[in-house]
Each structure stands twice: as C-alpha cells, then as structure tokens.
Structure 1
Amino acid sequence: MSFTRRQVLGGLAGLTALGLGGVGARLWLARPQVAAEHDYELIAAPLDLELVPGHQTAALAYGGRFPGVEIRGRQGDWLRVRFTNKLDQPTTIHWHGIRLPIEMDGVPYISQPPIPPGQSFVYRFKTPDAGSYWYHPHLMSSEQLGRGLVGPLIIEEREPTGFSQEKILCLKTWHIDEAGAFTPFSVPREAAREGTRGSLSTINGEHLPVIELAAGQITRLRILNLDNTVTYRLNLPGGEAKIYALDGHPVAPREFKEQYWIGPGMRLELAIRGPAVGAELSLRDGVVRLATVRGVAPTQAASAEWPAALPGNPVSEPDLAKAETLNFKFEWVGAMSEYASGQERPSLWQINGVAWQGGEEHKHNGPPLAKLKLGQSYIFTLRNMTQYQHPIHLHGMAFKVLDSNRRPIIPYFTDTYLLGKNETARVALVADNPGLWMFHCHVIDHMETGLMGTIAVGDAWCG
C-alpha cells in the first residue's frame, strides 16, 4: 500500500490554508502535541492508495494514512482530539466501544450536528477502560467507512501488563475491482442477506502480508475488524496463542483453539508465541489465508512466559436478581420494499417491528426502543429471527453476555455481540450512562436499511 506525492502535497497545502502551517505536517500525521495529555490533531482528507499493484484507489483517510493514525491514551486519563474535516461532505467521529459522555459519541442529529467540510470539532473525554477500540464516522457510513475512514484507538493499562511487544492488525475487505476502482458499497439484494461483501482482503491495507514475530517470545496481538460487512472466522493452525481480551475487555486467558468468529466492529486480543526463526504459520479466515506469520530472530530481550491475566475494567456489575428483562427481536421485513418518495435506500430490517428511517443523513424523530432508568440493572433478550448473523453494538455502555441457546458462554463484558442465525442470547447491563444511545447491527448494510434504533437512559428522551 502507498499514497501519491500529489495527495501528500495537497494535504499539506490544505493545512496551510487552515492556518496550520509550519508544524502542519506534524499535526496532520496526528502525533501528540502533549504526549502526557494524549492531545491530538486529526484530519480526514482524500488519499490515493495503491491497494492493487500499479493502480490507484481514491480513498479517504485519517491523518494521511490507512489505517487511520493510531491514537493512544491511558486508562483514566483525558483524551483530546481536535478533528478537522477536509472531505467534500459532512462527517463525524464515533469512538467505538469507549464509554464516554453522549456529547462526544459522534452520532449526527443524536449527539452532535454533522461537521461540515472545512470545519473542526474537539472531542474530549476520559477513557475509563483499557483495551483495543477504534474510531470511524457515523454518517454516510457505507461510503465513508468503505473508502477507508477507520483507525485504531488503543487505551493502555495504568500498570505494566507483562507484555513487552505488540502488533495491531486491522482487518478490512475493500469494495474495488481489478483496477482499484470502487464498486458499490451497498447493493439492496445483498443488503437483504449477509451484506454487500468486498473483493480484496487486507491487513493494515496490505493483501496477504507477512507478519514477523520474535521467535519464541510472546507478542500481544490486537486484531480489529474494521470491515463494513465481513465476519472473519479467524484461525491459526499450528500456532501457540491464548485469548486475553474480547472487544477491549479482559477475560481469563484461555487457549485460542480452532477458530474465533469476529464480526464487523469486534476486536480480539491474543498473546501469541512467535514460531521458530524462518518457520511460518497461516493466519486464516476459515480456509482462506489472510497473512503469513513468520518467526524472526529477536531484537530485544522479552519474556517467553505467558503474562498474567489483564486487570479488569471498572464496569458496573448488573444485579441479575433485581434486573428488568427487555426483549429485542431482530427481523427481516419479509420482502424487498419499494423506495418511498425521497428515500435513499429501502427498508429491509427491523427491531421489534420498527425499521430505522432516513439512514444517518436525516434527523430521526421516532421513539426509543426502550427507556431505561438511570442506575437500574437490565437483562436484554436478543432474538435473531433471521438466517444471517448480526453483530449487535450498543453505544455508551458495556454489557455482560450471560448465555445463549446456541453455544456455551463464559460470561464476559463487551459492546458488540455476534448474534448468530436464529440465536437467542441474554446480555445484562447497568444503565449508568445518561443519554440517547444507538443500538444497531454493525453490518453497515443492515444498519442503513433499518436494523438500528436508540436506547434512552435517564431523561434523554422526552417525546
């Protein structure tokens, strides 16, 4: 993957026009101004990428690169990101998985107005939870995410974890043809099924990369699914690895066996032992190779022992004995509906019989799917009435996965649960963050064609 000199110079010229000359290049690359305060400048702008050798793809990117520049904070500290929109369309940034105030959540017309071209907005919030998260727009999502507006957000633990080296792997399948030109991000016929799939799988923007790991040593591998549609069935035949966290939240370390299904928006943290020098492993999606893992001679002294479990995040434990149960049914509407007058896309999916209207481009005035009392515990029963998987994502809060009628569950906290075909699962939470929070499938096709709603906590909705 590469980008053209024209795009780099164009981005720098734009910074001068915005009054960011002199140190503009440094700011454009989103390096911290004050590292101790985790203070960033970040710009979204067009960028040509060489995803297909010899061809340019007219992508969009954060900080002049794909994946978007890595933003890091530390648990319990403030994070400040001054974001500038240099696209030719409005946008926002949603901080996926982070528990933050509603004003910082980045959902247009719900938590903030869209940020127009040429304008800036300062996102500033504390980061209560350590772990692997990511950031992306929540406006014109199929196109803006599809063209590359995604990036990793890493919140480090306050104390040493025992990991001395790590790598971040961002998974994305691009909707492009053999010449690198974009193909449709959403096709109604596919949106009514599993979602419109791309054609070129990449890790960190590279097709079939080689990932070098220090032989015999333990590396923390942060795997982020930043794709619009694809659920990856990750497996590593012959590899030594353990699962340490799911979607940012620590779990008791356990062997990484067979495969792990990671839906759009989800994250997986592994501890992996590098193979012997020159030996190779295949990181795969089912039977399809995504990357080659190769052992290389260590360049630093690092532990060959498995680290202790990561410290837990301060998520409120729901009181199951006093919890109120709410039911959510995720359904297909039963037919390919005709587009209503002025409607940009069809309604194909619904939650409890209601389809989200207007995509993300217009204000939604419908009532929330549920109104929760601040501080009360709740159990959500999630029932998938369809033949397709849905990664169900809740903004603003973490929930605890309790059980499923389709598979054994070791309870864990998350923000996104992959609800399987015809599966019923129960999750629980404490409604401890006031606001009007989005609740949706993270297959972008599904979200934009109806599988989205809001959950009100406290006095967030008075309609």
Structure 2
Amino acid sequence: MAFTRRQIIAGLAGLGGAGVAGLGAGGVRYWLGRPENLTTHDYELIAAPLDLELMPGHLTPAWAYGGQAPGVELRCRQGERLRVRFINKLEVPTTIHWHGIRLPLAMDGVPYVSQLPVLPGEYFDYDFITPDAGSFWYHPHTASSEQLGRGLVGALIVEEREPSGFRHERTLSLKSWHVDQQGAFTDFSVPREAARGGTPGRLSTINGAHAPILELPAGQVVRLRVLNLDNTLTYRLNLPGAQARIYALDGNPVEPRPLGKEYWLGPGMRIELGLQVPMAGTELSLRNGPLRLATLRAVASPEALAEWPPALPANPIAEPDLTAAETLSFNFEWVGAVSVGLAQGAAHSFWQINGQAWDSNDKGCADKPIASLQLGKSYIFELRNLSQYQHPIHLHGMTFKVLASNRKPVIPYFTDTYLLGKNERARVALVADNPGVWMFHCHVIDHMETGLMASIEVA
C-alpha cells in the first residue's frame, strides 16, 4: 500500500499520544506505510514551537515534535529499520537521542560525541535497526533542562515480531510542567534544587492533559505502557483496588507478577502493566503516591472476557558471564555547596562520578572516559550512591542486567536505567557488545547538567 509524503505527515500529526487502544495485532496503523518515491527516509519528524493550553485560558510557548507535546508517538516492529528525517524548525540547535535503543554510535544523538548539533533550519537523518521490542522514548541531548522542559519528549514503541496476546493497549506519557498559574514557564533548573533532588515542575499531566479520564474496555486485559518523560520527578505509581501485573520494565520483559502496593518509576524509566479492566461503570485511580494522575473508567465492551496474556518474549540481549566478569566501581556523589558569583556562562558543578564532574560547556569532555571496556567482555558495575537523593542511572548504547541491591530484594532483569536509591549499593552486569563512546548519567536532568554524567568507551 503506497502513501504520499503528505499522507505520512498527516498521519503522524493525527496519531494521538493516547496510544492505540482497540487496535489488535492485525489492525492497520495507516501511518506505518512507506511513502512513494522516497528513498532517503520513511518519516519526517519536525521540532517547532507550539502554543499549548496547559493552564485553562492561558497559552504556554512550548516546543513540540510532530505538532504535539509530548511528541507524536512513533511505532515500528522489532527488527525493522527505522529511518527518520529530523527537521529542526526551532531557533536553537538540538538533536534526538533514542533512549533505550541499542543502536550504532552515529545515531545516538549526543552532540560532539556522535554528531554535530542540528542547527535551526537543518535536518539530520536517523537510520537504525530496532533490535528489541518494548517501550522506549526520544528527546534532545542539548540544553536538556530547557528543551525537555518545553516539551521535546515523545514515545517510541517497538512492537513484538509476533502478536503479544494483548488486544488493547494505551501509552501513558507522564510529564510535569514548569509553569505558573498563567501558563508561563518557570525556571527549569534552580541551582539550589539541582544540588538536591532536582527542580520539580508543578503541573502533572498524562499525554499533555492534567488528571484526564481514560476510558478502557470492561472485561479486557489492557496493556498500559507507562513512560516517565519528566525532567525530575520519580513517581510512586499505584492503582488501588486494581488487578494489575507487571509485564516489562524499561522495555524488557519480565515474568508477569503483581504490581503490588506501588512501583517507583524514575525519570527516563518505563513500565508495562497488564490491567484487568473491571465491570463497566467502575473507576480506578492511577496515582503518584496519594495524588491522582488519571481516572481509568471501564466502559461497556462487546468482546468476550479476556484471559491474562502469557509472558512477553525475551529480547535478544547477551547474557553476561559473571564468572569471568571484571568488576568496576562507580561512586555517585555530591561535591559542593551552591555556588555564588559564577563567571558569565560558567556551569554549576554539584555532582560527580568517581571524582569527575561533567562540564556541559566542554565539547571535549567525552574524550576523557571514566572507564574503557573491551569489546565482547563481560563486566559487573558496582553502583554506589553516596548521597541522600535518588539517581536514575542511564547507560546509552547497551542494556545491563540488575543483579542485586543492599536496600531491596532483586529479581534479576535487563534494563537501561536503574533507580539508585539514597545511600544504595547495587550490582549490575553487561556484555560490552557495542563499540563507541557512550554516555553514563543520572536522568534527573539538572543533576546531569551539574556534573552527574560521564562517558564509557567500548573498543
């Protein structure tokens, strides 16, 4: 089935952030067609200004992907080649990082490491295979506090090669906005807050709406893909009174198990739940601790009652050899008081990894890797949080296996982001199977921008 470029762009713009509820495995997602006579790319993704009504009666000067913020949801199938022409119609340089995707370094979207920034009016073609199925996302890696804060975040969903067993699903993108009562942006990063837990936004949203009512088909098991696209906040997700099971963490399947009382979802992290929707007319509350994020309302469905789907198929990730693995230690620590009288343009530095603080103004900072790994070798990373604040630790380019923690029991699982708690020590393992220089950082954005990032070389 052939599509023109105009149809493809219109389809992308019309695909809501609410996901694809009601589309079965055999359903047609019209925008996934390939355009006619276009050999360089499959989709165009435009970053441009967009006024949003986040606060009733007031407009917020957001930045958007594909005409919406959070950005248009991109979808492809596991093993497919994804080719996206990214067009920058902002007045500032930017890039796209594909969070959680194992891809070649040249496609990773880190300025002065994998590519030059995409300047206003320019474009860049991202072209890579998606080896793993799961819930991922995309965002800039330039001036991140402001660019993510203004709305440059979006979901990337990689579907399984074969039907998953879920007939219904929804994507729920969590984001709090740094806005005041009139919808004007407040500071995305305040030094005093960056030196602590990070600068929080004040308006919580799901798919850009505050406390929405989401209708789900009664009697069905719905796949909820919950993505934390926030700059700062860790969500204590809970669904009181619901029958919910965890099916995947950060894009990687786990043996289905009950959600339990709550799950702590740090910035950059994702969780996939199977939710048994109750009888029609029932309402459930998706909460962050005691705070309501959304109301899930069961509506009548003509379909027969659904059974719990089986576990999702594992992704093709190399299993680390723990008997031959080399152990490396990484200390994440707070290093100083709030600075005063900084020179114009100088960066605050509050955090460091193994005694090194990342300098966002130093374009050669990645040339001094904190560790050099041998290609194909297994490693155990000992992660030590020497502070009183949580750090969601994210590694680009590779996936690691969480082995153990001194603060909680761990059922080993693969991930790209681990929420390292206060004074926690955790052990993770990986196979260094992707050559390049990869970022290793906290995903509380103003922690990252004030020192808590480093590079790891694989060669």
TM-score, length basis structure 2: 0.92
* Structure 1 residues 25 and 404: CA distance shift in structure 2, 3 A: closer
Question: Residue 259 of structure 2 is aligned with which of 250, 256, 259?
Answer: 256
Match of 1:26 in 2: 10
Give the conservation status (yes or no) of the 8 Å contact 1:343–1:358: no
Give the conservation status (yes or no) of the 8 Å contact 1:315–1:398: yes
**Could you give the per-residue CA deviations for residues 143-177 of structure 1, whole angstroms, max 9, x where no partner exists?**
00000000000000001110011000000000000
1: CA distance between counterparts of 2:437 and 2:154?
25
Q: State the secondary structure of the residue aligned to 2:193.
A: helix
2: CA distance between counterparts of 1:193 and 1:297?
47
Match of 1:279 in 2: 282
Structure 2, gaps ≥5 residues long? 15-30
Match of 2:393 in 1: 392
Q: CA deviation at 1:308?
A: 0.3
Question: Residue 88 of structure 1 is aligned with which of 88, 91, 94?
Answer: 91
Query: Alignment length, in residue pairs?
Result: 437
Q: CA deviation at 1:364?
A: 2.1
* Structure 1 residues 365 and 133: CA distance shift in structure 2, 3 A: closer
Match of 1:317 in 2: 319
**Comparing 23-32 and 394-403, the one that deviates more:** 23-32
Q: CA deviation at 1:88?
A: 0.2
Q: CA deviation at 1:136?
A: 0.3
In the alignment, structure 1 residue 147 sits paired with structure 2 residue 157: no
Percent of pairs identical after alignment? 67
Q: State the secondary structure of the residue aligned to 1:346.
A: coil
Question: Residue 191 of structure 1 is aligned with which of 194, 217, 239?
Answer: 194
1: CA distance between counterparts of 2:363 and 2:253?
37
In the alignment, structure 1 residue 119 sits paired with structure 2 residue 122: yes
Q: Which amino acid aligns with 1:272?
A: L
* Structure 1 residues 47 and 309: CA distance shift in structure 2, 3 A: same
**Could you give the per-residue CA deviations for residues 328-380 of structure 1, whole angstroms, max 9, x where no partner exists?**
00000132234654444310000001100125x74425510100000000000
Q: CA deviation at 1:24?
A: 8.7
Match of 2:52 in 1: 49
Q: State the secondary structure of the residue aligned to 1:70.
A: strand
In the alignment, structure 1 residue 326 sits paired with structure 2 residue 310: no
2: CA distance between counterparts of 1:223 and 1:191?
25
Give the conservation status (yes or no) of the 8 Å contact 1:27–1:41: no
Give the conservation status (yes or no) of the 8 Å contact 1:390–1:420: yes
Give the conservation status (yes or no) of the 8 Å contact 2:393–2:443: yes
In the alignment, structure 1 residue 382 sits paired with structure 2 residue 366: no
Q: State the secondary structure of the residue aligned to 2:71.
A: coil
Q: State the secondary structure of the residue aligned to 1:167.
A: strand
Q: CA deviation at 1:262?
A: 0.1
2: CA distance between counterparts of 1:264 and 1:42?
23
Q: State the secondary structure of the residue aligned to 2:145.
A: helix
2: CA distance between counterparts of 1:25 and 1:222?
24
Match of 1:414 in 2: 415
Question: Residue 357 of structure 1 is aligned with which of 356, 359, 384?
Answer: 359
Give the conservation status (yes or no) of the 8 Å contact 2:237–2:262: yes
Match of 2:443 in 1: 442
2: CA distance between counterparts of 1:23 and 1:289?
38
Q: CA deviation at 1:40?
A: 1.2
Q: CA deviation at 1:27?
A: 7.5
Give the conservation status (yes or no) of the 8 Å contact 1:213–1:275: no
**Comparing 244-253 and 71-80, the one that deviates more:** 71-80
**Could you give the per-residue CA deviations for residues 371-426 of structure 1, whole angstroms, max 9, x where no partner exists?**
00000000000000000000000000000000000000000000000000000000
1: CA distance between counterparts of 2:6 and 2:215?
36
1: CA distance between counterparts of 2:341 and 2:125?
37
Q: Which amino acid aligns with 1:357?
A: D
Match of 1:348 in 2: 350
**Comparing 270-279 and 169-178, the one that deviates more:** 270-279
Give the conservation status (yes or no) of the 8 Å contact 2:401–2:428: yes
Q: CA deviation at 1:281?
A: 1.1
* Structure 1 residues 344 and 176: CA distance shift in structure 2, 3 A: farther
In the alignment, structure 1 residue 138 sits paired with structure 2 residue 141: yes
2: CA distance between counterparts of 1:346 and 1:71?
35
* Structure 1 residues 220 and 339: CA distance shift in structure 2, 3 A: farther
Q: Which amino acid aligns with 2:110?
A: V
In the alignment, structure 1 residue 174 sits paired with structure 2 residue 177: yes
2: CA distance between counterparts of 1:255 and 1:27?
36
Match of 1:97 in 2: 100
Q: State the secondary structure of the residue aligned to 1:439.
A: strand
2: CA distance between counterparts of 1:456 and 1:342?
32
Q: State the secondary structure of the residue aligned to 1:29.
A: helix
TM-score, length basis structure 1: 0.91
Structure 1, gaps ≥5 residues long? 1-19, 459-463
* Structure 1 residues 22 and 103: CA distance shift in structure 2, 3 A: closer
Match of 2:68 in 1: 65
In the alignment, structure 1 residue 164 sits paired with structure 2 residue 167: yes
Q: CA deviation at 1:276?
A: 1.5
Q: CA deviation at 1:275?
A: 2.1
Q: Which amino acid aligns with 2:396?
A: H
2: CA distance between counterparts of 1:365 and 1:166?
39
Match of 1:12 in 2: none
**Correspondence 1:290-309 to 2 at 5 A:** 290-299=293-302, 301=303, 304-309=306-311
Q: Which amino acid aligns with 1:119?
A: E
* Structure 1 residues 165 and 302: CA distance shift in structure 2, 3 A: farther
Give the conservation status (yes or no) of the 8 Å contact 1:218–1:302: no
1: CA distance between counterparts of 2:379 and 2:320?
7
Cα RMSD after superposing both structures = 1.9
1: CA distance between counterparts of 2:417 and 2:203?
25
Match of 1:335 in 2: 337
Give the conservation status (yes or no) of the 8 Å contact 2:9–2:43: no
